[in-house]
Amino acid sequence: MSGLQLGEKLCVSCFQHRQNCAQTTHNEHVLTKNWGLYLIPVISQLTTISKVAKRVKYPDGYDYHVYINGRHEEWSKHKRGIDDLKKCSECNLFHDTYYQLEALS
């Protein structure tokens, strides 16, 4: 597995291989996190705006966390039409479903 940069894309197969090699993984639903903030009137509006922005960034509604060698990676899953294929950074093949690296720490 190569060292990835922000914005790089992996096909489903390469992403699953990356998850299998990771020490820890978990998926976080972007709309259900911190739901208690909706009970505070002013903060609930800001929280709603934040959730809408996250929903755009994470189209399938999940933030995929992968921990490899002490590095934390956040991935988003995208599904495009056959006319908008994306090239995988690992296998160099074009796919309509791919994972994009959103954050790296």
* Separation CA 25–CA 45 (nearest Å): 31
pTM of this prediction exceeds 0.85: no
Question: pLDDT-derived band of residue 13, with 50, 70 and 90 as boundaries?
Answer: very high
Q: Which residue has the tokens 């992968």?
A: 66
For 95, residues 6+ apart whose C-beta sits below 8 A from its C-beta are: 11, 12, 85, 86, 88
Q: What is the per-residue pLDDT for 81?
A: 83
Q: Is the pLDDT of residue 43 over 90?
A: no
Q: What is the per-residue pLDDT for 2?
A: 54
* Separation CA 72–CA 24 (nearest Å): 9
User: % helix / strand / coil in the chain, to the nearest 5?
Assistant: 30, 35, 35
Q: Which residue has the tokens 């755009």?
A: 56
